[in-house]
Amino acid sequence: MAEGKSRKDSKKKPPSALHVVQGVEGGHDGMPGSESKAFRPARRNNNHLTTNEYVDGILAGDRTIIGRAITLIESNARQHQEQAQELLKEILPHSGNSIRVGITGVPGAGKSTFIEALGCQLTDAGNKVAVMAVDPSSSLTKGSILGDKTRMEQLSRDPNAFIRPSPSGGTLGGVARKTRETIIVFEAAGFNVVLVETIGVGQNEITVRSMVDFFLLILIAGAGDELQGIKRGVMEIADAIIINKADGDNIKAAKLARAEYERAIHYLQPATKGWNTGVHTASAIHGDGIKEIWDIITEYRAATKASGVFDERRREQSRLWLHSMLEERIKEMFYSQPDVVSALPKIERAVMDGSLPAAQAAWEILNLLDKS
Ligand code: GDP
């Protein structure tokens, strides 16, 4: 992190092309390149890019082509998926050179304020920062936790940052695939820090943990029992915990919360072999504690690279990724079998009526495969 350079210096940076691609409509209407009028007005009319053009553009760090490549990845149209896979194969050897950081916390904890503060400090220090979100609910709301342009305003104008809202994959599995593939695009394009934000609900954090090197949990001090409402499972996968909003009247409460979480974490298995999860206070809004967190992430990377844990985790993540892709494809293939499509409604009704046990119904459907 560059020292002594305040964010104010960089406020004068000229606004670059719009980096926040609004919504994700372009991603699932089957039209790569249709994502934003403001982003690229001149090149909309279906002008198809060859895979080589995508590859060259990504490797050259061309923002327009990076955006289009992500839209291609997000498209559910078969020919786009085929081209996206071709493209990914080409750029894969150029990927991997970033630190991937997952960031979670309940809405309001200060994730976007923190990402803005961290991201701006990092770009000031010469890094290229990509920010993504994993928010499967965005397909319902047609928006995204990162789709709102008022969030991360400064970072979104920074030419060395690229903010991408959550793809609307429909399912967490779909969103996860698209996010993983987008990480590869960003890395091949030279982004050396990838931040993946997720809202602290349900299965999201576990999924994001499976695609990042370092996982950060942002909490705030609240009244009463500090541990209430925090799922133990999330603390177990965190490599660092931040008690945010440690400012003004809240400093004392934040320090107390830190002590309490430190005690709690003491009894948990480390999220990463050989690494002790620490609890820290920060004030994202004032930029306090941000540099310290980055120092911790840097130290973590050095320590886990030296011990081999870093690469081992990435290899394991790739293996698990293969299996989740397999599961997805098998499911798709199964549910598109004509025999299954025609038999399913009747069998479903029988299960709903209580005339057929669900387990037996499942076997009956699976047996159709043998016959087809
Ligand atoms: P997110 O939903 O987790 O992304 O949270 P936001 O970053 O949108 O922050 C939620 C609210 O908390 C906003 O009004 C922020 O201005 C405020 N906030 C964020 N960080 C801090 C902080 O460090 N101190 C204080 N006092 N407020 C903060």
Ligand 1 center to 110 CA (angstroms)? 4
Among protein residues, the one with the nearest Cα to ligand 1's atom 10 is 108
Rounded Cα distance between 106 and 250, Å, is 18
55 or 332, which is more confident?
Answer: 55
Residue 364 has pLDDT above 50, yes or no: yes
Residue 165 binned pLDDT confidence (cut-offs 50, 70, 90)? confident
**Cβ of 15 less than 6 Å from ligand 1:** no
Residue of 285, 288, 290 with the most ligand 1 atoms within 8 Å of its CB, for mutation: 285
Instruction: From 104, 98, 97, select the one nearest 239 (Cα to Cα).
Output: 104
Q: Any idea which of 46-60, 221-235, 279-293 has the lowest mean pLDDT?
A: 221-235
**Cβ of 111 less than 6 Å from ligand 1:** yes
End-to-end CA distance of the chain: 61
Instruction: Report the percentage of the chain scoring pLDDT > 90.
Output: 59
Structure confidence by residue, pLDDT tens digits, 130-161? 999 887 765 544 444 544 545 788 998 999 99
Q: Any idea which of 63-77, 140-154, 305-319, 352-366 has the lowest mean pLDDT?
A: 140-154
Stretch 314-325: mean pLDDT? 93
Residue 368 binned pLDDT confidence (cut-offs 50, 70, 90)? confident
Stretch 189-208: mean pLDDT? 86
- DSSP labels, 142-178: SS-TTT-TTTTHHHHT-TTEEEEPPP--SSHHHHHHH
Instruction: From 86, 92, 91, 95, select the one nearest 55 (Cα to Cα).
Output: 91
Structure confidence by residue, pLDDT tens digits, 12-45? 333 333 334 433 333 333 344 444 434 444 444 4
